[in-house]
Amino acid sequence: MRTLGHFISGGGTSHNPTEGSNRSQLEFEGVRKAQGAQARNRIIIAIACFGLIYSIIGGRLVQYGLRSPETVSSIRRADQLLISRPDLVDRNGEVLATDIRTVSLFAEPNKIVDADEAVELLATVLPDLDMPGIHRKLSSNSRFQWLRRQLTPKQQSQILSLGIPGIGFRPETRRFYPGGPTASHIVGHVNIDNRGIAGMEKYVDGQGLGDLAAAGMTVNEDMKPVKLSLDLRVQHVLRDELAAAMDRYKAIAAAGVVLNVHTGEVVGMSSLPDYDPNNPVEALQKDRLNRMSAGTYEMGSTFKAFTTAMALDSGKVKITDSFDARGSIRIGGFTIRDFHGKNRVLTVPEIFIYSSNIGTARMADLVGIDGHQEFLTRMGLLTRMQTELPEVATPHQPDVWKKINSITISFGHGVSTTPLQTAVAAAALMNGGKLIEPTFLPRTVAEADKVAVNVIAPSTSESMRYLMELNVAKGSGRRAEVDGFHVGGKTGTAEKVVNGRYSSAVRFNAFLSAFPIDDPQYVVLVVVDEPKPEEGQHYATAGMNAAPMVSAIIRRSAGFLGVKPQFGNGTQELSLSY
Query: Which residues face 260 on adjacent strands?
Result: 522
The 3-state DSSP class for residue 107 equals strand
Identify the bridge partners of residue 104 per DSSP, sorted by sequence position.
Answer: 170
DSSP string for 28-77: HHHHHHHHHHHHHHHHHHHHHHHHHHHHHHHHHHHHHHHSPPP--TT---
Rounded Cα–Cα distance for residues 412 and 60 (Å): 77
Q: Is 293 a catalytic residue?
A: no
Phi, psi of 241, rounded to the nearest 5 degrees: -70, -35
User: For residues 351 and 113, what is the distance between their CA atoms, to the nearest angstrom?
Assistant: 83
Q: Residue 304: what residue type?
A: K
CA distance 447 to 123: 58
Cα separations in angstroms, 89 against 95, 205, 226, 333, 382:
4, 16, 6, 54, 32
Backbone phi and psi for residue 571, each to the nearest 5 degrees, phi listed first:
-90, 145
The dihedral through the CA atoms of 464, 470, 472, 476 has a sign that is negative
Q: How far is CA 551 from the centre of its chain?
A: 29
CA distance 345 to 440: 45
Sheet holding 488-498, edge to edge: 266-272, 253-260, 522-529, 501-515, 488-498
Number of helices (H), then strands (E), belonging to the chain: the values are 18, 18
- DSSP alpha helix (H) spans, 431-573: 445-451, 458-474, 546-557
Question: Among the options 301, 410, 476, 557, which is catalytic?
Answer: 301
Q: Give the span between the Cα atoms of 464 and 466, in whole angstroms.
A: 5
- The residues annotated with a catalytic role in the active site are 301
